[in-house]
Amino acid sequence: MVVSELSDQDVNRLFRALADATRRDIVRRTLVEDVSVSQLAGAYEMSFAAVQKHVAVLEEAMLVTKNSRGRERMVRANLDRIRQAQRLLDHFEELWRSRIDRLDILLAEDNPAPPDT
Amino acid sequence: MVVSELSDQDVNRLFRALADATRRDIVRRTLVEDVSVSQLAGAYEMSFAAVQKHVAVLEEAMLVTKNSRGRERMVRANLDRIRQAQRLLDHFEELWRSRIDRLDILLAEDNPAPPDT
DNA sequence: ATATCGTACAATCAAATGGTTGTATCAGAG
DNA sequence: CTCTGATACAACCATTTGATTGTACGATAT
């Protein structure tokens, strides 16, 4: 198992990168197969440079990696990073459980067992 | 099961709201127990208004709700929304599986069974 | 009734974001 | 070698974000 502590900054970048529909779509496409930057650029109604920037944001968030193939740069999504995001959300769920536990304790205190005899 | 279609806008807001350490901390605190805006404000090294704005961002993303209690406004995290975020990430995982499937097919084609006899 | 606590909200401001165009570089095709 | 396709990157601009201070207002405690 990879230890990989995510700093606050890393988590910020991770969620921020996911907070844009175009970038989420790039992740989707590159999860299924490697896609070059120009192929991606062809898929959206914006300039090549704009798409390039989105890829750069994803790269900084480590949600994708780029590899050279000939003169093209192939973009590939990094599933591990998505799983790390999931684990962060799992942690929230765990915290929520502690709320339930506290509530149970409170209810037990407010509703003591009836005095015997 | 809740149908709850999340629009692109909704998803943007959801992930954007999570892309800030203070806001994630507010979600953590309010998952465990209800906390008033002023209690939250006391927990961070920033103005009351700044914290109030963070709560507003979380509220727009529907990650928290506010209820009046006396003159206080109690903030409570909404676990359902966190689960929706998890489901979005699950969907990415599913797409990734299709990559593996394609790869298997390709390998099968490139490596045909050896000619018999 | 009035002082105060908790909140809401407007105005303001610096920095970050998301987009553009233009220029430079680099690998392959002819 | 030269032309072209695919990138990279800088400069620029409008909008949004994250924070501030200041003002207003409703609910409570005294």
Containing structural domain, residue A75: 8-110
B97 beta carbon to strand D: under 7 Å: no
- SS3 of A73, please? strand
CA-CA distance, A47 to A41, in Å (whole number)?
7
B24 beta carbon to strand C: under 7 Å: no
Question: pLDDT tens digits, residue range A41-51?
Answer: 999 999 999 99
- Any idea what the CATH number is for the domain that residue A39 is in? 1.10.10.10
* Full DSSP string of A15-36: HHHHSSHHHHHHHHHHHHS-EE
* A1 domain-assigned: no
Whether pLDDT at A59 is above 60 = yes
* Nearest chain B residue (CA) to A63: B92
Question: pLDDT tens digits, residue range B49-99?
Answer: 999 999 999 999 999 999 999 999 999 999 999 999 999 999 999 999 988
Residue B5 DSSP label: P
Q: How many domains does chain B have?
A: 1
**A64, β-bridge pairs:** A77
* A3 domain-assigned: no
A82 and chain B: CB distance < 8 Å anywhere? yes
pLDDT of residue B25: 98
